[in-house]
Amino acid sequence: MSLLLLDTNTLNYILKDVPPAPAKLEEAVREGNSFLLASVAHYELTRYLHLKGANRLLRLYQQLTATWQRCETSFEDWDEAARLWAERHRSGQGISDPDLLLAVLARKWNATLVTTNTRHFTGVGIALEDWTLR
């Protein structure tokens, strides 16, 4: 049993029923895994759904994540993000702010980050899964 933190792109694949992501979610639920919802992923996804007027997908998202544990960034997390950002940029491996915040939260919660962009997170010290791979 694991604690899983889903990136925005993975949530989007699930909502849009892009295989094999929905089946991987069902398997993770059957296995008894727990889920985290990061405020940054929530923001990225819901702003897009509101922009597109995708009310059906917004309701589906709300139902899907209703029981997931919410995780927010604290001031200490922002400090960790700043250190990691500087470290990555010094080594020539820039990382976007949303990805950086997800990495910090995955570290903090000792969660596996489920993302289609595993290469963005190489070397940040977190477990990764890609639910687009069969």
Query: Do 80 and 101 touch, CB atoms closer than 8 A?
Result: no
Classify residue 54: in a domain, yes or no: yes
In-domain check, residue 80: yes
Tell me, yes or no, whether 11 lies in a domain: yes
In a domain, 66, yes or no: yes
For residue 116, is it within any domain?
A: yes
How many structural domains are present in the chain?
1
> 8: domain range?
3-120
Predicted confidence pLDDT, tens digits, the chain (134 residues): 899 999 999 999 999 999 999 999 999 999 999 999 999 999 999 999 999 999 999 999 999 999 999 999 999 999 999 999 999 999 999 999 999 999 999 999 999 999 999 999 999 999 999 999 98
For residue 130, is it within any domain?
no
Alpha helices in the chain (DSSP H): 8-15, 21-30, 39-52, 55-65, 75-90, 97-109
Q: Identify whether 84 is part of a domain.
A: yes
134 within a domain of the structure (yes/no): no
The domain that holds 107 is classified in CATH as 3.40.50.1010
pTM as predicted: 0.95
